[in-house]
Amino acid sequence: MKPTETIEDFYRYKFNWMPDNLKNSMGHFNVFRMDEFAGKHPRPVPYSRKDFFKISLNIGKFRLSYADKVVEIQDQALVFSNPMIPYKWEPLTEQEQSGYFCIFTESFFSQFGNIKEYPVFQPGGQPVYCLTKEQTAPVEHIFRRMHEEIKSDYAYKYDVLRNLTFELVHSALKMQPARTSLYSGSVASTRISSLFMELLERQFPIESPRQQILLQSPSAFATQLAVHVNHLNRALRETTGKTTSKIIAERVTQEARNLLLNTSWNVSEIAWTLGFEESSHFINFFRKNTDTSPGVFRSSGKPV
């Protein structure tokens, strides 16, 4: 899985420039036409998560893949994406893809209602809504109004844009969400296990005492993958015969051995890089998983 795409990455990779208002206190909002942004035949978007919110009107045939389910759209749909849930987007035909999308940060709504609490942005909720041609027309009209408003000089245009965003949310909530196909049995377990192992390995190797792993617990990995921690644990037991905690502990222990033998960092520095705020906790962890202390292991010069 690709690293989390920040809103800075979005502008840097797509436009090679940064908006002036990207980091101000009121947050950020922007809206784009799909064909102007990605061309009439956009490439697949790899499985990843963003650190911003996105609402898309997608017109065309495409597939959305999440950790535990897939949604296929044959005509048009309204799609809600948020920083908590990674996904993959891919076209199903060579035919033209069109529509609109808007992106915004959570702080854009900080004084105007808690938008992330709406079901369309909640883990376990339904983020995709199929649209008929009759339903598409008013949704497209909202996006056109956004597109016109953001280019205007109206002093309160961002209030208008917030209202239009809420209008999209409430329009969707009045509709029937798209049907999802759950990955079944071993297919689902293999998929989730593969994504978990990719997330785990992406944190290593540690190359600086200022680098700290961010995902340290089963619940942290489950949150990153947008699945329940019990679901993750079952998938890993089925595919590896081990618990999530066991796999994490083995990989952290492997990295600890490497750092002890191949760096001059002290134990406190190594402990911090591996997510232990107290070196005593790291020492206890290392002893539990290797039957020796970090100091004895280092002095013995055992191979990694």
- The model's pLDDT over 54-103, given as tens digits with 9 standing for 90+, comes to 999 999 999 998 877 788 999 999 999 988 788 889 999 888 889 999 99
Beta strand ranges found along 107-180 (DSSP E) = 128-130
CATH superfamily of the 7-182 domain? Regulatory protein AraC (2.60.120.280)
Residue spans per domain, the chain: 7-182, 185-300
pLDDT in tens, 245-288: 999 999 999 999 999 999 999 999 999 999 999 999 999 999 99
- pLDDT of the residue at 12: 86
Q: What's the fold here for domain 185-300?
A: Arc Repressor Mutant, subunit A (1.10.10)
- pLDDT of the residue at 1: 58
d(CA 144, CA 150): 10
CA atoms within 13 A on the CB side of 123: 14
- pLDDT of the residue at 124: 66
- pLDDT of the residue at 182: 56
CA 41 to each of CA 97, 99, 157, 299: distance values in angstroms, whole numbers, following the listed order: 6, 12, 32, 59
d(CA 40, CA 17): 22
d(CA 268, CA 283): 9
pLDDT in tens, 232-255: 999 999 999 999 999 999 999 999
Mean pLDDT of the chain: 88
- pLDDT of the residue at 186: 72
pLDDT in tens, 129-159: 999 999 999 999 999 999 999 999 999 999 9
DSSP structural state of residue 198:
H
